[in-house]
Amino acid sequence: MERRSFLAGAAAALALGPAPARAAETVKIRIGVGGKPLLYYLPLTIAERKGYFKEEGVEADINDFGGGARSLQALIGGSVDVVTGAYEHTIRMQAKGQDVRAVCELGRYPAIVIAVRKDLAGTVKSAADLKGRKIGVTAPGSSTALAVQYAMIKAGLKATDAALIGIGGGAGAIAAMKKGEIDAVSHLDPVIAKLEADGDIAVLVDTRTEAGTRALFGGPNPAAVVYTKQDWIEHHAAATQRVVNAFAKSLKWLASATPEEIADTVPPAYHFGDRALYVQAVKNSLESYSRTGISTQEGMASVLDLVRTLDPELQGARIDLAATVEDRFIKRAMG
């Protein structure tokens, strides 16, 4: 009887064909970010909200640290596995003997705007006039801080000629300007879009476009990337590929999505109570997102020049730009 049951079951199995391959197990990956509502990190939010992480079998545990420098600290300290943060962090870490590599470019232009409080616009007309001022940035040491320091140096000042104040990446950043707690700001959309719409600021530098980026940096300047430690990549190659696949899907979707579709996808809280304004902010920043996920040699060299200008310790350091990226995963993901 048992033999007949077995044979019957085997016959049924043959009739149905081979059993489907078992789905890959979900992997939990801790992702650090410094100001998630900012459009600088929009590809991360899209990957989360469109379900791309889930499609790739990734349970994304996203930790928002309020500033890029803090995300980097979390990676080095081991409390996150992967970071969406500024490309320049990979260069700084190499100089310190830490092998941190970008596995996917998210932003080809920084999309950072440097602006002054409107009532000071008659006095502060360029970066050269920022001496002695209080400048709000997402966090000291973050890309927003470096951009304004670089602009000051190019204008003939020292990086230390102004006080940088961390104001975070959300509503608190807007409040700091409206309350007069800062004189100027180096920040990103939608914070900048809100301050512009309310007439609170006058823009001095705008790197949301290629033209504005070249005006400040002299060329392209990769911004947000997905980076992690090289030893994590080596021990988690399959997980790295899954994460990069999700971000690749996000970049592809952004390349054809309308600002209205994007506004409908992100959490309503990201609109700061004004959906139309958020749509305009997206329009302002859409040009800045990477189309390929791969940073160019010219862009990486531009960032190296930036960090060497700002950090004397890096001026004599030997930096291998090829070792700041690991692009085989994004090339596979993009086909």
DSSP 288: G
Is CATH 3.40.190.10 what the domain over 113-206 is classified as, yes or no?
yes
Confidence (pLDDT) at 169: 84
Tell me the fold of 27-109+221-334: D-Maltodextrin-Binding Protein; domain 2 (3.40.190)
Task: Sort residue 115 into left (φ over 0), alpha (ψ -120 to 50) or beta.
Answer: beta
Full pLDDT tens readout for the chain, 335 residues: 333 443 344 343 333 333 333 346 899 999 999 989 999 999 999 999 999 999 999 999 999 997 888 999 999 999 999 999 999 999 999 999 999 999 999 999 999 999 999 999 999 999 999 999 999 999 898 889 999 999 999 999 999 999 999 999 888 999 999 999 999 999 999 999 999 999 999 999 999 989 999 999 988 899 899 999 999 999 999 999 999 999 999 999 999 999 999 999 999 999 989 999 999 999 999 999 999 999 999 999 999 999 999 888 888 889 999 999 999 999 999 98
Tens of pLDDT along 263-306?
999 999 999 899 999 999 999 999 999 999 999 999 999 999 99
Confidence (pLDDT) at 212: 93
Give the pairing type, strands 201-206 and 113-117: antiparallel
Please choose, from the candidates 223, 190, 186, 224, the residue with its C-alpha nearest in 3D space to the C-alpha of residue 83: 224
> CB neighbours (10 Å) of residue 335?
5
pTM, full prediction: 0.84
Please choose, from the candidates 246, 243, 248, 247, the residue with its C-alpha nearest in 3D space to the C-alpha of residue 232: 243
Q: Can you give the residue ranges of every domain in the chain?
A: 27-109+221-334, 113-206
Q: Which residues are paired to 185 by β-bridges?
A: 115, 136
Intra-chain end-to-end CA distance of the chain, in Å: 54
Is 27-109+221-334's fold the same as 113-206's?
yes
Side-chain half-sphere of 234: how many Cα atoms within 13 Å? Answer: 5
Confidence (pLDDT) at 24: 61
Confidence (pLDDT) at 5: 40
Tens of pLDDT along 222-272?
989 999 999 999 999 999 999 999 999 999 999 999 999 999 999 999 998
Confidence (pLDDT) at 141: 83
